[in-house]
A and B are shown apart, each in its own frame.
Chain A
Amino acid sequence: MNLKLASDLGTPPTEDLSGVPLAVRGMTVSYGQKPAVFSVDMTIQNGSMSAIIGPNGAGKSTLLKAALGVIKPLAGRVSVYGKPLKSQHHRIAYVPQRASVDWDFPTRVIDVVLMGLYRELGLLRRVRTSHMETAMACLDRVGMTDFAERQIGQLSGGQQQRVFLARALAQGADLYLLDEPFAGVDAATEKAIIAVLKSLKDDGKTVVAVHHDLATVSDYFDQVFLINTRKVAEGPVATTFTAENLNAAYGGRLATAQIDRLAVSAL
């Protein structure tokens, strides 16, 4: 393995990333002394639907959070549409894992979706009918209009996940990053979410999701990024989601028979 020194990490300044929604270069993140993500380069293609996959503890969520600035990396740079992350937060919508939220918080479904409009609302502007209409339209896209007035804790896990997605939609972003959107949700929610994500892609948006269900990778996504602390492979599902790469990422954690069944056949 080619271990680069921290001092010469990163891309040469000549690399043109202006058409790339999300590029991560030389990213290392560590909790304590053990790196969770080590010297990772990731390039997300414009208009793609990309899955970040890898075994438990491989640093999938960590990579995503570091790319968003939610946690501070030890080293590495992030470029969003060719510009530094700091100036581009408004083009990114993030759907966190459900576990990150206090569900007894005094807030209704519609209030959560309105949080997606905070940038438009600023600090002091009042919520107007037009804002409410936008929020309701986003709830409609995830099939949750009937639930607008409920307290957020009264929903099932899948419904909560759809409300988070509606909040992301309300931002009107270009790049959508989702952390395990299908974890612990019912089949109906999974279908609803994937339909929304595909419609985003059809609108020319870019979607990146941390994903844990290998069986659905080739149905849902067109690009795949395999990680196990270090980058294993990235590229189109058809050429990258192979038995060889899965073996490299998952090691002995998947049976050979499983891998053969999942992987795109190299015919």
Chain B
Amino acid sequence: MLTEALTLQLGYNATLVALGAMFLGVAAGVTGTFLFLRKRALVSDAISHATLPGVGLAFMIMVAFGGDGRNLLGLLLGSALSASFGLLCIGWLTRRTRLAEDAAIGAVLSVFFGFGIVLLTIIQTMRVGQQAGLEGFLLGSTAGMLWNDAVIIAVGGALTLAVVIALRRPMTLVAFDPEYAAARGLNVARVDLAIMGLAMAVTVVGLKIVGLILIVAMLIIPPVAARFWSERTDHVALIAGGIGGASAYIGAGLSAVAPALPTGPIIVLVSFATFLISLLLAPGRGVLAAVLRHRRFQRRVHIRQGLLALAQGQPIYERYTLRLLQRAGLVEADGVATETGRARAAKALRDEARWALVRSDQALEGAAALYDGLRDLETVLTMDQITEIDRRIGAPQGVAL
């Protein structure tokens, strides 16, 4: 059943939803990367909550003029206008009052959302008979999604993505180093506005599928997960787009299999799963990698200290050190160094002296930066350089590398 959903064989509506969601997911992941790097993740939450009054007002206006109150384009336009107004309010509160941005965000978010809920309640009591489905904007609803809706979502997502790609350099510059960006003549406020505007576009486009309460998750979780996998901005953005698209597609597929499951929350849970996997398993920044790295480092420190102690004829008291040395065949069970142990100990002592010289020589800075007290010198310098260092130390040449 799930494979059918994921291979788009579950019917027209499910296919529309899955493809629409995937477009949205890619756009949200890539856009969210810049929001996240600019440390404005929370603003997107305010943006999304500020869309609700616009949805209600747009519905009322369209009905009042005798139109279809559920026209998606009209509702999205209304939500975009009210979200922009919310953004303006946050900007004004932060600039003109002593309120910090987080307080301004909290105030705008709750007031707009509250007002939106009041409007929706009023709409429920109106006798127009079209109000069914409006509450779907809260948590997203994909039942009865039309071809036109899917097109709007796909086109909106694609346009947003195109603008993000075009503005990636200024946005990266502003997020990394706003002062430098301003000195280059970039209008930092305008670039910030572009970042916010793009986040708003994703929010508005995603209202129908994910709903305004959870859309922030699609903007933020993918870049946060992607950050674990790369140290490059462009790669983080690409990975975030991939994670966003895949999560949305899989989530939509899952909810199509079990129609009682709401699409938006499932998508969020799937992307959270990718976040968990990244957090635990990513090489480099992941938790597991960090633990393993620490353990390996600890073992190497103990062996190194043990070897230095052996070389200088000092006793080793720590049991863990002895056990490690013994396991490596460097000491006998009684703590006396083996043949290999004595050779390695002499080399360790020698390497200490070599490193000391490397670290004091400016010309060898690149190598010195790798110093951690453990690394073998021959992994960072050529044999010729080491011979040169030995010549400068002037110590006996008998010790093997």
**Could you list which residues of chain A lie within 8 angstroms of chain B, going by C-beta atoms?**
65, 68-70, 86, 89-90, 92, 94, 96, 100-102, 105-108, 111-112, 115, 118-119, 121, 123-124, 143, 145-147, 151, 155-156, 159, 167, 177, 188, 191
The answer to the question of B185 belonging to the interface, with a C-beta cut-off of 8 Å to chain A, is yes
A65 CA to B369 CA, complexed, in Å: 33
B171 to chain A, nearest CB (A): 11
Provided the pairs A115-B173, A118-B169 are in contact, do residues A107 and B183 lie with their beta carbons within 8 angstroms?
no
The answer to the question of B60 belonging to the interface, with a C-beta cut-off of 8 Å to chain A, is no
The answer to the question of B37 belonging to the interface, with a C-beta cut-off of 8 Å to chain A, is yes
CB atoms of B169 and A123 under 8 A apart: yes
CB atoms of B179 and A90 under 8 A apart: no
Provided the pairs A123-B166, A124-B166 are in contact, do residues A188 and B365 lie with their beta carbons within 8 angstroms?
yes
CB atoms of A106 and B185 under 8 A apart: no
Of B130-138, B231-239, B347-355, which binds chain A?
B231-239
CB atoms of A105 and B176 under 8 A apart: yes
CB atoms of B369 and A115 under 8 A apart: no
Which residue on chain B has the smallest CB distance to residue A177? B183
Q: How many residues of B contact A (CB 8 A)?
A: 31
Beta-carbon contacts under 8 Å, B1-55 to A: 37, 39
The answer to the question of B175 belonging to the interface, with a C-beta cut-off of 8 Å to chain A, is yes
- Chain B 165-197, CB-CB to A under 8 Å as 1, else 0, gives 111011011011111101111000000000000
A69 to chain B, nearest CB (A): 6
Q: Number of A-B pairs whose CB atoms are under 8 Å?
A: 89
The answer to the question of B366 belonging to the interface, with a C-beta cut-off of 8 Å to chain A, is yes
Residues of A within 8 Å of B178, CB to CB, are 100
Residues of B within 8 Å of A191, CB to CB, are 362
Enumerate the 4 nearest inter-chain pairs by beta-carbon distance, A residue then B residue, closest first.
A146-B366, A89-B185, A94-B183, A151-B231
The answer to the question of B208 belonging to the interface, with a C-beta cut-off of 8 Å to chain A, is no
Provided the pairs A102-B176, A106-B37 are in contact, do residues A68 and B183 lie with their beta carbons within 8 angstroms?
yes
CB atoms of B176 and A89 under 8 A apart: no
A111 CA to B126 CA, complexed, in Å: 58
Provided the pairs A90-B185, A143-B365, A147-B366 are in contact, do residues A105 and B179 lie with their beta carbons within 8 angstroms?
no
A77 to chain B, nearest CB (A): 17
